[in-house]
Amino acid sequence: MRAPAGVALVTALTVALAPAAPAVADEVRDRQYWLDAYGVRDAWAVTRGEGVTIAIIDTGVDGTHPDLAGAVVDGTDVSGLGSSDGETPVGSDGNAHGTMVASLAAGRGSAGGAGVIGTAPAADLLSISVGFGEGETDSDEQIADAVRWAVDNGADIINMSLTRNTLEWPESWDEAFLYAMENDVVIVAAAGNRGSGTTSVGAPATMPGVLTVAGVDRRGSASDTASTQGITISVSAPSEDLVGAVPGDGHVAWNGTSGATPIVAGIVALVRSAHPTLDAANVIQRLLATAKPAGAPGADPLYGYGIVDASAAVREDVPLVDANPMGDLAEWVRINRRADAPPVPTPSAAPLPEPTPIAAPEASEPLGTLLPTLNQLREVGLPALVLLLFGAGLIALVVLAVRSFRSLRNSE
């Protein structure tokens, strides 16, 4: 069943819509506690995300913000509401959302060590503006179109700080997300926020193969309001006391897995840059295998495989895997969509045997007299011939005896 409002942003819970008023030039940077606590600065000694492109499917990214100068290399609008480059924020509500998200993934910061710097500050960005509940096409189709455009225009990673608020998703997403996965793109999606009414993860965070991000507070505990739960959660990242850039030149404080997701997308970019030969499945495996344990072993419904560690994900030796540890979307589609597909005739397991020909009956002798033929006599043999002659002789003796008896009576 489709949510009445269609796809929605994983909205921030506490957003100051006016710029924060820093006492010193670098207060915004000082608020970014995750850079040290989550091993991001240490990972920068190896790479800062060079050569990797992150697509931001959101409300549009203001590439003119000082913290994002040079970060946005291309973009588009799939809503019919924004500019063709995707850099004009769209939507009546939350139009700052895309810029906030982008700054946490690949913000460049500002001069003098001020401003927001993303976890992958050397990565490139694609801005794809979507009208959530607005636009020329419905939100579901806009998302499908946005995913395809991102793949066709060089995305290595797609950030989706949004939710459908339902476990299921439309078939158009099957095709679009499979297209991304078949082209080795890592899709990173937000789990959602209890404070926004999302009590459990919704699509795209429920889709097999997607890297789903939950949120924790500054102590590393699952956030009560700025996260949610679900069995498809992959890793956890900071979702409270965040700071981000907003259109123009301002900054805001905010909470939500909308912010945790680009932090992780930037870490994925670090891994892809440091290990360019790895496919998407092994990039995801690196984040899962190196996450700091939290919650129950394995895929915990609050923390996933643990709290993300950027330095370990980039530096540690991790055994390779043959398949995406977050599941196989193609297999899910094969099993769950097959009832909707028309029946297709298939050959039997083994070919049918060739028919065995029926032998024609042998030609018989033509019918004739009742007397035996010479061939029949030959088949009968000598014993039968002797019996036949004996019988004929006996009959002849009887005939002679009868005639003799009649002659005697007549002479009397």
pLDDT tens digits along 80-130:
999 999 999 998 766 899 999 999 999 999 988 899 999 999 999 999 999
Q: Is the pLDDT of residue 4 over 50?
A: no
The residue-averaged pLDDT of 198-217 equals 95
- Give dist(CA 256, CA 268) in Å, integer: 19
Given the residues 62, 65, 79, 97, the one annotated as active site: 97
What local confidence, expressed as pLDDT, does residue 195 receive? 84
Query: What is the enclosing helix (H) or strand (E) of 128?
Result: strand 124-129
Mean pLDDT computed over every residue of the chain: 85
Given the residues 196, 258, 273, 311, the one annotated as active site: 258
pLDDT band at 205 (very low <50, low <70, confident <90, very high): very high
- Give dist(CA 253, CA 241) in Å, integer: 7
- Give dist(CA 303, CA 331) in Å, integer: 25
Q: Which of 89-98, 155-164, 169-178 has the lowest mean pLDDT?
A: 89-98
Tens digit of each residue's pLDDT (9 = 90 or more) over 339-392: 655 555 545 455 545 555 655 555 544 433 344 444 544 554 555 555 556 666
Told to judge if 251 belongs to the known catalytic residues of this protein, a careful annotator would answer no
Percentage of residues in the chain with pLDDT exceeding 70?
A: 77
CA dist list (Å): 204 to 126, 158, 191, 247, 371: 19, 12, 9, 26, 99
What local confidence, expressed as pLDDT, does residue 348 receive? 46
Told to judge if 258 belongs to the known catalytic residues of this protein, a careful annotator would answer yes
- Give dist(CA 295, CA 304) in Å, integer: 8
- Give dist(CA 157, CA 56) in Å, integer: 9
Positive or negative, the CA dihedral 14, 15, 21, 23 is positive
Told to judge if 97 belongs to the known catalytic residues of this protein, a careful annotator would answer yes
Give the chain's radius of gyration (CA, Å).
43
Q: Which of 44-48, 249-253, 261-265 has the lowest mean pLDDT?
A: 249-253
